[in-house]
Amino acid sequence: MSLPRRQRGFSLVAAVFVIAIALLIVLAAVLTLGARNRSTVQALEASRALFAAQSGLDIAVARALSGGCGAVPASLAIEGFSVELGCTRTAVDEAPETYGIYTLTARAQRGRFSDQSFVSRRVRATVTE
């Protein structure tokens, strides 16, 4: 039994169509997995930056309470993060007591803003003497 001349190439067209659809499905899966991987890494780096900022803030609190704002370093490095510290003291006079209130900030960052690897977190605390 021979096929008419018009129907001989139909199975080739169907096979190419099925391969193209399968390729699109695989490509979509790869792109989705890559996006999930990037978001997981970014979330991990954001958590690490938060913990570095919190550690810097703990150092600033300890130094401010023991020696004032002059004892707080301007910056330091913690686990690959650059941590910038800030301290301001406000004198409070509530007769008969006088005390100081310290407002402390810490900002941890790594990478450049133009890169996808940039991460930055900032924390603030207020403590009294």
Q: How far is CA 122 from the centre of its chain?
A: 11
Asked whether the whole model's pTM tops 0.75, one would answer no
Specify the higher pLDDT residue, 125 or 29.
125
**34-71: per-residue pLDDT in tens?**
667 777 888 899 999 999 999 999 999 999 999 899 99
| Site of tokens 């499905």 | 25
Q: How far apart are alpha carbons 129 and 127 in whole angstroms?
A: 7
Residues contacting residue 122 through CB under 8 Å, at least 6 positions apart: 53, 105, 106, 107, 108
Rg (alpha carbons) of the chain, rounded to whole number: 30
Residues 81, 121, 40, 117: is their CA dihedral positive or negative? negative
- Beta-sheet strands, E only, within 15-118: 75-78, 81-94, 97-110
**2-27: per-residue pLDDT in tens?**
656 655 667 777 888 889 988 888 88
The two structure tokens encoding residue 126? 């207020």
By the 8 A CB rule, do 60 and 104 touch? Answer: yes
By the 8 A CB rule, do 59 and 75 touch? Answer: no
